[in-house]
């Protein structure tokens, strides 16, 4: 297989995005458009990947920050042919160059592999597609033998040529032994005054180089983004494709049109996902997991048969088997829940470990804590782990019962079998198997009168 170079054109302004953010940095499925293209390119194991940037200046390379990439700036922007010229110092004489676009994010690896497979030292490969309405695209011209002879841009096309439905996607694979010479022969004698990369197709035909076409599995693989409307439409296309993959794997989705996957979601058997759930980063749901509506999971593993109730937010955490989370629970980074742990409504857990069978069912905060087995944490309990400058740890050993409205002032250890009376503020370690409480003496004031509002002055 010939050595592969990849050139990604990412210099466009994106006027119709109406944004200071360079077009290729706008997010689709949670990551920049350009990152989708680069992630696909990486799978192809290229010798060199050169990204051509322009508008936005150093914002694009600084945001992507990948040392394996070669960057070349295009100033001014004089067309696609001029853009590829900027990559020539990084392209060897042998092998092939695959040209991709930073605003065309969903081209699959399989489609690009088919394009590369038909390209050789004497073959130019084009990715083409037929559209019911080809308006705005360059048309593929073929002779009577159905051989590709040229590409004509719409602004330069005749009336009959504009009726052609096969269009150029812009993605092509070019033999390097010809690329350098063809690019230097480009002229800008066209309606836009630009150097079109597509003009090398006619040069290839003139030089006796065969021009072959490959086709994507889906038309949407070739769709680019030039406006927020197109970006939103492509987001739904992407999410629909992800939902269909899950359904094919046996995942139950309450509504496939209301799920957002912004990373990688892996599911076991009999997983059920309700509406409007968002999955970010790397999420793994094992067999029998149920995720309630309006839940957000980011970089989370949920073990088998656990239930995440609606409106829960879980990030960078591990959830054991048969756990019950939520509704309205927040599990923050660094948390590890072992099997059969219950975290209830309006409970927040941060950087803490809870052992098997422990529960915090209502309105509590557990931060920087190690909680043993079979611990019950009452409503309104908080670990006071921060003194304004430093964080401290709370240790709650096995079989502890913490009464409601308790403050545990870290660093503190609650010994095995302890019971903490409701309303207590615990500042020192507790002894095992004893009741500990701290309360002010209850008083009732005889003759006390509740304040009343003063009457408003009359006008």
Alpha helices in 147-213 (DSSP H): 176-185, 200-206
DSSP letter at 324?
A: E
Closest CA relative to residue 13, chosen from 55, 75, 58, 57: 55
In three-state secondary structure terms, 434 is: coil
Q: Known catalytic residue: 184?
A: no
Query: Which of these is catalytic: 90, 218, 294, 362?
Result: 362
Residues β-bridged to residue 118: none
How far CA 408 is from CA of 189, 416, 423, in Å, comes to: 78, 15, 11
DSSP letter at 430?
A: B
Separation CA 329–CA 345 (nearest Å): 5
CA dihedral 352, 355, 357, 359 (to 10 degrees): -20
Contact 347, 363 (CB under 8 A): yes
Residues β-bridged to residue 214: 127
Separation CA 236–CA 228 (nearest Å): 12
CA dihedral 216, 217, 222, 228 (to 10 degrees): 180
Contact 365, 408 (CB under 8 A): no
Q: Sheet containing 401-402: which strands, arranged edge to edge?
A: 252-253, 272-273, 290-291, 307-308, 324-325, 342-345, 359-362, 376-377, 401-402, 419-420, 435-436
Active-site residues, by number, are: 362
């Amino acid at each position: 297989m010939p050595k592969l170079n990849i050139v990604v054109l990412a210099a466009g302004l994106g006027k119709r995005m109406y944004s200071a953010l360079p077009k290729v940095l706008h997010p689709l499925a949670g990551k920049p458009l350009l990152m989708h293209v680069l992630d696909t390119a990486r799978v192809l194991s290229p010798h060199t990947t050169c990204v051509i940037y322009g508008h936005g200046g150093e914002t694009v390379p600084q945001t992507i920050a990948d040392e394996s990439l070669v960057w070349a700036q295009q100033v001014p922007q004089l067309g696609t042919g001029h853009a590829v010229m900027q990559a020539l110092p990084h392209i060897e004489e042998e092998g092939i160059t695959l040209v991709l676009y930073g605003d065309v994010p969903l081209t699959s690896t399989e489609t690009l592999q088919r394009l590369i497979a038909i390209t050789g030292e004497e073959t130019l490969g084009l990715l083409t597609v037929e559209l019911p309405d080809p308006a705005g695209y360059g048309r593929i011209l073929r002779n009577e033998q159905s051989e590709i002879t040229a590409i004509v841009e719409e602004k330069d096309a005749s009336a009959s040529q504009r009726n052609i439905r096969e269009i150029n996607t812009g993605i092509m694979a070019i033999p390097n032994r010809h690329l350098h010479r063809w690019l230097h022969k480009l002229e800008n004698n066209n309606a836009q005054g630009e150097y079109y990369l597509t003009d090398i197709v006619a040069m290839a035909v003139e030089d006796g180089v065969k021009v072959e076409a490959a086709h994507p599995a889906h038309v949407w693989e070739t769709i680019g983004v030039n406006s927020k409307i197109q970006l939103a439409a492509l987001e739904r296309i992407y999410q629909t494709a992800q939902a269909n993959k899950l359904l094919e794997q046996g995942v139950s989705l309450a509504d496939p049109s209301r799920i957002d996957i912004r990373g990688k979601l892996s599911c076991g058997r009999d997983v059920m996902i309700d509406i409007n759930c968002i999955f970010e980063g790397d999420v793994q749901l094992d067999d029998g997991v149920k995720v309630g509506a309006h839940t957000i999971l980011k970089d989370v593993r949920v073990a088998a048969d656990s239930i995440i109730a609606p409106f829960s937010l879980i990030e960078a955490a591990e959830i054991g088997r048969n756990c019950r989370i939520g509704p309205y629970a927040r599990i923050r980074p660094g948390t590890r829940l072992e099997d059969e742990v219950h975290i209830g409504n309006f409970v927040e857990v941060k950087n803490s470990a809870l052992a098997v069978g422990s529960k915090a069912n209502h309105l509590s905060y557990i931060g920087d804590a190690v909680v043993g087995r079979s611990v019950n944490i009452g409503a309104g309990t908080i670990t006071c782990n921060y003194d304004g400058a430093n964080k401290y740890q709370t240790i709650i050993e096995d079989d502890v019962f913490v009464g409601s409205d308790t403050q545990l002032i870290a660093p503190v250890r609650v010994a095995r079998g302890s019971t903490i009376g409701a309303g207590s503020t615990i500042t020192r370690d507790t002894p095992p198997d004893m009741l500990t409480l701290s309360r002010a003496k209850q008083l009732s004031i005889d003759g006390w009168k509740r304040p009343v509002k003063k009457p408003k002055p009359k006008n």
